């Protein structure tokens, strides 16, 4: 797994072909997403402490949103790539390649650093978008133009779906907080 992570960082496109065909790599993809989620959550949690808000809330939201974003992006990309652009993949293949493409987001552990944290997070996101492009191109066997369109459509639709899920989840958390406050005093 470490070799594959290093190859993602080196932009070695062949790692995605390898992960795509290796069904046993699903546990590795989940592990990569979990590691990235925890590192991002630590950065977000420290940032929350610096801003005098809840570390635990920021940490949990970062963990949950990392997994939701991964699944949503893989599912939407799979649907767009196979339905509109006639790419060839399974949902499992997309989960594996996109899971590994998330490696650059580990840099979000540094997101709490004043001034630089935002720049680091933006660069991590852009790097991840590019590794996602490589993963999607390899995973769906598409040419560059169709891959760009799949990434763009998939990202926009995935962002909207994740935003809606986040709003529902956020409203649910606020409601639970209000109810617990109402019964405590």
Query: pLDDT digits over 35-61, tens only?
Result: 999 998 888 888 877 877 777 777 787
| pLDDT of 131 strictly over 80 | yes
Q: What is the per-residue pLDDT for 160?
A: 84
The Cα 44–Cα 58 span in angstroms is 6
Q: What is the per-residue pLDDT for 161?
A: 81
pTM above 0.95, yes or no: no
Q: How confident is the model at residue 169 (pLDDT cuts 50, 70, 90)?
A: low
Query: pLDDT digits over 2-40, tens only?
Result: 899 999 999 999 999 999 999 999 999 999 999 999 998
Both structure tokens of 34: 């979990």
Q: What is the DSSP string of the chain?
A: -HHHHHHHHTT-THHHHHHHH-GGGHHHHHHHHHHHHHHHHHHHHHHHHHTTS-HHHHHHHHHHHHHHHHHHHHHHHHHIIIIIS-----HHHHHHHHHHHTGGGGGGGGTTSTTHHHHHHHHHHHHHHHHHHHHHHHHHT--HHHHHHHHHHHHHHHHHHHHHHHHHHHHHHHHHHHHHHHHH-
Q: How confident is the model at residue 92 (pLDDT cuts 50, 70, 90)?
A: very high
Query: pLDDT digits over 57-90, tens only?
Result: 777 877 888 888 899 889 999 999 999 999 999 9
Q: What is the per-residue pLDDT for 171?
A: 52
Both structure tokens of 27: 């546990």
| pLDDT of 179 strictly over 80 | no
Q: What is the per-residue pLDDT for 102?
A: 93
Average pLDDT, the chain: 86
Residue (of 76, 95, 87, 97) closest to 151 by Cα position: 76
């Amino acid at each position: 797994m470490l070799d594959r992570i290093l190859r993602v960082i080196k932009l070695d496109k062949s790692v995605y072909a390898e992960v795509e065909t290796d069904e046993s790599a699903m546990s590795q993809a989940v592990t990569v997403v979990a590691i990235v989620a925890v590192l991002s959550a630590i950065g977000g949690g420290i940032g929350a402490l610096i801003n005098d808000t809840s570390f635990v809330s920021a940490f949990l939201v970062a963990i949950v949103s990392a997994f939701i974003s991964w699944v949503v992006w893989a599912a939407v990309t799979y649907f767009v790539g196979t339905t509109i652009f006639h790419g060839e993949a399974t949902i499992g293949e997309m989960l594996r390649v996109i899971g590994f493409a998330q490696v650059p987001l580990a840099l979000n552990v540094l997101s709490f650093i004043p001034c630089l944290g935002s720049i680091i997070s933006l660069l991590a996101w852009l790097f991840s978008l590019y590794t996602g492009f490589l993963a999607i191109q390899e995973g769906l066997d598409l040419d560059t133009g169709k891959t760009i369109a799949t990434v763009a459509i998939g990202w926009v639709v995935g962002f909207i779906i994740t935003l809606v899920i986040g709003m529902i989840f956020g409203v649910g958390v606020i409601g639970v907080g209000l109810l617990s406050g109402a019964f405590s005093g």
